[in-house]
Chains A and B, each alone.
Chain A
Amino acid sequence: MKTEKSITDFIDSKLKIEPNPYLTTQIMAKLESMEHNEPYKLSSLQKAVVAVSITIVVLLGISLGTLYNKETTESFALNINDSQIENLQIFSDPIVNTEE
């Protein structure tokens, strides 16, 4: 009996709560705003145009990417040897100096 009373008391306390008197106005306002902000729907022709545009952009991207991968410059080797750039032997070796 005690538990039944606890449940009844709990339910009674909840049933005493009254909803906001402006609830109807809020709901109607929400419905109105929803109707005004309905998402823009694309027609089937517009959808097709969008799909074709995306395809063109993707194909263009692929072809540009392929072009970029082609080697446009000749490969060459660079020999960096400091001893050849500034050959100190020229200045130090007397045989070399007297050659002239």
Chain B
Amino acid sequence: MTKTEEIKYIISDILNGEREKFSIIVNLYKESVFRIAIGYMHTKEDAEDIVQEVFIKTYQSLSGFKGKSEFSTWLYRITVNTCLNAIGKKQRFSFLQKAEDTVSRFFNIKSDDKNPEEKLLSREKEKAVKDAIDSLPKQQRTAFTLKRYEDLSQQEISKIMKISDGAVEQLLQRSKVNLTNKLKKIK
């Protein structure tokens, strides 16, 4: 039995009342969903919140899965949409986040005993990369995250994003150029 068939049987069992079988799906995909979520959110806590939200949404709309595409494609699409929504919400409170970052950075720097200068540089570099990824347009960011964090093929990415393979390639190229331009100033 292939994985796709196995998933179909599990889904039909869940829809027939065997709710506990949903844990099989969670166990199969939680790490993949977590990797994509951390690509967007950058922190463990936020990524775990996304994983929970994704699986709850998936469970609630399981009857809507017709099996026309792979289950993973459908699940990853839910993940991407949930992440983009969460980012939108987060941006509305970005001033609070900035204040929190400044405070946490201040305390972290003070508590470092070894090579504070090196630690500061590495933290600054990390922040620059994070900001550069965050500043990518939505589609470039999605293609970049799915490729680099989940190592999906261009074909799989194109199915998730509902665009052509060529468009995915273009998005990946553009994201690379954009990131390089934004990170040029880093030592």
Q: Which residues of A contact B (CB under 8 A)?
A: 2-4, 6-7, 10-11, 13-15, 17, 19-20, 23-24, 26-28, 30-32, 34-35
Count B-side interface residues using an 8 Å CB cutoff: 34
> When the two chains form their complex, are residues A28 and B129 in contact, meaning their CB atoms are under 8 A apart?
no
CB <8 Å contact, A27 and B44: no
How would you classify the secondary structure of chain B's contact residues: helix, strand, loop or mixed?
helix
Chain A residues with CB under 8 A of B35 = 15
Mark contacts of B94-134 with chain A using CB atoms, 8 A cut-off: 1 yes-contact digit, 0 otherwise. Answer: 00000000000000000000000000000001101110010
Please, which residues of chain A bring their CB within 8 A of the CB of B48?
Answer: 19-20, 23
A3 touching B180 in the complex, CB below 8 Å, given contacts A24-B26, A27-B26, A31-B59 = yes
15 new A-B contacts at CB < 8 Å, known A23-B52, A27-B30:
A3-B184, A3-B186, A10-B130, A11-B39, A11-B148, A17-B47, A19-B30, A19-B34, A19-B47, A23-B48, A24-B23, A24-B27, A24-B30, A30-B52, A30-B56
* CB-CB nearest in chain B for A1: B180
A6 touches B52 (CB 8 A): no
Question: Do A14 and B38 touch across chains, with their CB atoms under 8 A apart?
Answer: yes
Docked Cα-Cα span, A20 to B47, in Å, equals 10
Q: Mark B155-187, 1 if CB is under 8 A from A, else 0.
A: 000000000000000000000000110011010
A7 to B130: give the CA distance in the assembly, Å: 9
Alpha-carbon distance A94/B150, docked complex (angstroms): 119
Known: A3-B183, A14-B39. A31 touches B19 (CB 8 A): yes
Known: A7-B129, A19-B48. A27 touches B184 (CB 8 A): no
Interfacial chain A residues near B128, Cβ < 8 Å: 6
Contact partner of B183 among A6, A11, A34, CB < 8 A? Answer: A6
Q: Mark B23-61, 1 if CB is under 8 A from A, else 0.
A: 100110011001100110010100110011001100100
